[in-house]
């Protein structure tokens, strides 16, 4: 049994979550960026210590056992069969999104994203001189869905060249179903739209939900898409900057690798390779227990709001450790809500508005922390809300 209850001090550890300006006040609980507060898998620590003790840190390259660990994890955990040749490493998924944009589209091309969505999607498009086309998700106050008619219409009307899919979808917690992915794929295939499927949260799914890779929906979808994976969310290894981008189509892979070279992105980080291989080789049990713990946290949060703050609506997540909460009942505008969370509730959250259209009045809570911290955070929030009454 792994101990996810253990509280570990993270201030003064070069952590963006804990050491940035906003978190300096020790009353503030940071629950914003998707970075977990749990100690990682022991075998990862051992692999890193072993490599550090070797004492030579020259240019690195993935070994056969590295590739086999990635292939094994995807097959075991996701029934996702990949060939070794399809794996291209990058120093992060956001880097991969930007490389894919550069490789497969031209300046001023239109790239579609669903909204609200993980905000670096916007920046990746705009910083590369491409144009964002938004496809807002439908929300019935409970569940988010895609209006496929609108999805297709937006593609046709705007001559969209690429769609960036967030699967599972951050921040709203949807784990897209096979039939939804089939519709998305068919529409993109029909209109020759590249699909970049960001599957970084693939390991975090709950209950009857299970992750479907875009590559698993239909064989021909591999002809026009890229799947982005990484061990960095699952095992909290973001600072080791190692992700595995799966590209089956040879021509797309060639263009992607050329973009990598153009940007001077060469050999991977040796510690990232070690950590990824250890994670994917030894991490099954750890992840199973982690998922149980996270489900417990999510349930705790849902029950807390239901019993003590019923005016606030938690959008029950199908996946992720990020919980999307509808705070519109508090009647605050986005600045008031942000100020209230930070300066009254002492919580540093990701504000809904940063995720774009449909995000105002929402907050995203990162619940990948020991339950005692989550409890304290929710009690701080309750206390702050009571002062409003």
Ligand X SMILES: Cc1ncc(COP(=O)(O)O)c(C=O)c1O
Rounded to 5 degrees, φ, ψ at 323 are -115, 130
How far apart are the C-alpha atoms of 122 and 135, rounded to whole Å?
13
Figure out which of the listed residues 230, 247, 248, 301 binds ligand X, where binding follows CB under 6 A.
230
Is the CB of 34 or the CB of 101 nearer to ligand X? 34
Draw the binding track, 26-65, toward ligand X (x: CB under 6 A; -: no contact).
Answer: --------x-------------------------------
Which residue of 102, 216, 232, 236 would you call a contact of ligand X, by CB under 6 A? 232
Contacts to ligand X from residues 258-297, by CB under 6 A: none
Q: What angle do CA 337, 293, 307 make, to 5 degrees?
A: 50
Neighbours of 19 (CB within 10 A): 14
Return d(Cα 42, Cα 25) in angstroms, integer.
31
* Cβ-contact 384, 340 below 8 angstroms: yes
Cβ proximity to ligand X, 111 vs 309, nearer residue: 111
Among 71, 162, 166, 205, binds ligand X (CB under 6 A): 166
Does residue 359 bind ligand X (CB under 6 A)? no
Q: CB-hemisphere CA count at 13 Å for 380?
A: 20
29, 36, 94, 347: which one contacts ligand X (CB under 6 A)? 94
At how many degrees (to 10) do helices 284-308 and 64-78 cross? 50
DSSP string, 350-383: EEGGGG-TT-TTEEEEE--S-HHHHHHHHHHHHH
Q: What's the CA gap between 72 and 84, in Å, rounded?
A: 11
In whole angstroms, how close is the CB of 288 to ligand X at the nearest point?
Answer: 22
Smallest gap from Cβ 177 to ligand X, in A, equals 18
Residue among 197, 243, 281, 297 that touches ligand X (CB under 6 A)? 243
Give the nearest distance from C-beta 204 to ligand X in angstroms. 10
Does position 368 bind ligand X by CB under 6 A?
no
**Other C-beta atoms within 10 Å of 320: how many?**
29
Question: Would you count residue 93 as binding ligand X (CB under 6 A)?
Answer: yes
The minimum distance between CB 94 and ligand X, in angstroms, equals 3
In whole angstroms, how close is the CB of 310 to ligand X at the nearest point?
Answer: 29
Closest approach, Cβ 211 to ligand X, in A, equals 13
SS3 of the chain: helix, strand, coil, percent, to 5 = 45, 15, 40
Nearer to ligand X, 146 or 385 (CB): 146
DSSP 117-155: --THHHHHHHHTT-EEEEEEPEE-SS-EE--HHHHHHHH
Whether the CB-CB separation of 384 and 349 falls below 8 Å is answered with no
Nearer to ligand X, 105 or 244 (CB): 244
If the CB atoms of residues 268 and 385 are measured against ligand X, the closer one turns out to be 268
Q: Is 118 in the site for ligand X (CB under 6 A)?
A: yes
CB of 24 to ligand X, least distance (A): 23
Ramachandran region, residue 361 (left: φ > 0; alpha: ψ -120 to 50; beta: rest): left
Strand locations in the chain (E): 29-30, 87-90, 110-115, 131-136, 138-139, 144-145, 160-166, 194-198, 225-229, 243-246, 313-315, 322-326, 347-348, 350-351, 362-366
Nearby residues of 209 by Cβ (< 8 Å), 6 or more positions away: 175, 318, 319
Residue nearest to ligand X as judged by C-beta position:
92
Shortest approach of ligand X to residue 33 CB, angstroms?
7
Query: Taking contact as CB under 6 A, which single stretch among the options 87-95, 157-165, 306-314, 327-335 is the one that binds ligand X?
Result: 87-95
Q: Which is nearer to ligand X, 234 or 281 (CB)?
A: 234
User: Which of 6-14, 211-219, 230-238, 366-374 is the region at the interface with ligand X (rule: CB under 6 A)?
Assistant: 230-238
**Residue whose tokens read 């005016």:** 311
Considering only 40, 69, 102, 170, the residue that binds ligand X (CB under 6 A) is 170
- Binding window for ligand X (CB under 6 A); candidates: 79-87, 92-100, 263-271, 334-342: 92-100
Residue 206 engages ligand X in binding (rule: CB under 6 A): no
Please report where in the chains the tokens 């699909």 appear, as a residue. Answer: 195
Shortest distance in whole angstroms from residue 93 CB to ligand X:
4
Q: Applying CB under 6 A, which residues contact ligand X?
A: 34, 92-94, 118, 166, 170, 198, 200, 230, 232, 238, 243
């Amino acid at each position: 049994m792994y101990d996810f209850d253990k509280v570990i001090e993270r201030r003064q550890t070069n952590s963006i979550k804990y050491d940035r300006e906003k978190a300096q006040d020790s009353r503030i609980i940071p629950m914003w960026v998707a970075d977990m507060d749990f100690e990682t898998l022991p075998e990862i620590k051992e692999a890193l210590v072993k490599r550090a003790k070797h004492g030579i840190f020259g240019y690195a390259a993935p070994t056969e056992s590295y590739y086999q660990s990635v292939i094994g994890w995807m097959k075991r955990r996701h029934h996702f069969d990949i060939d070794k040749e399809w794996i291209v490493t990058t120093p992060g998924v956001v880097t991969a999104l930007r490389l894919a944009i550069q490789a497969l589209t031209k300046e001023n091309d239109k790239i579609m994203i669903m909204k609200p969505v993980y905000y670096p999607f916007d920046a990746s498009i705009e910083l590369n001189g491409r144009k964002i086309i938004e496809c807002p998700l439908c929300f019935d106050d409970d569940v988010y869905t895609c209006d496929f008619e609108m999805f297709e219409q937006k593609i046709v009307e705007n001559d969209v060249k690429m769609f960036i899919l967030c699967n599972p979808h951050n921040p709203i917690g949807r784990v897209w179903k096979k039939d939804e992915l089939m519709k998305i794929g068919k529409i993109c295939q029909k209109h020759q739209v590249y699909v970049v499927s960001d599957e970084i949260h693939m390991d975090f799914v709950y209950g009857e939900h299970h992750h479907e890779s875009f590559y698993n929906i239909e064989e021909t979808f591999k002809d026009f898409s890229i799947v982005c994976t990484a061990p960095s969310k699952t095992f909290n290894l973001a600072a080791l900057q190692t992700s595995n981008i799966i590209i089956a189509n040879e021509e797309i892979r060639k263009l992607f690798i050329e973009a990598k070279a153009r940007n001077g992105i060469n050999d991977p980080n040796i510690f990232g390779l070690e950590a990824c291989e250890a994670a994917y080789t030894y991490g099954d049990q750890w992840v199973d227990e982690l998922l149980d713990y996270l489900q417990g946290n999510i349930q705790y949060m849902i029950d807390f709001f239901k019993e003590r703050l019923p005016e606030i609506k938690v959008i029950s997540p199908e996946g992720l450790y990020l919980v999307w909460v509808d705070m519109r009942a508090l009647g605050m505008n986005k600045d008031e809500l942000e100020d209230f969370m930070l300066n009254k509730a002492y919580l540093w959250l990701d504000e809904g508005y940063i995720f774009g259209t449909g995000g105002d009045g929402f907050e995203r809570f990162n619940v990948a922390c020991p339950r005692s911290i989550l409890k304290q955070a929710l009690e701080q929030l309750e206390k702050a809300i009571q002062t409003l009454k």
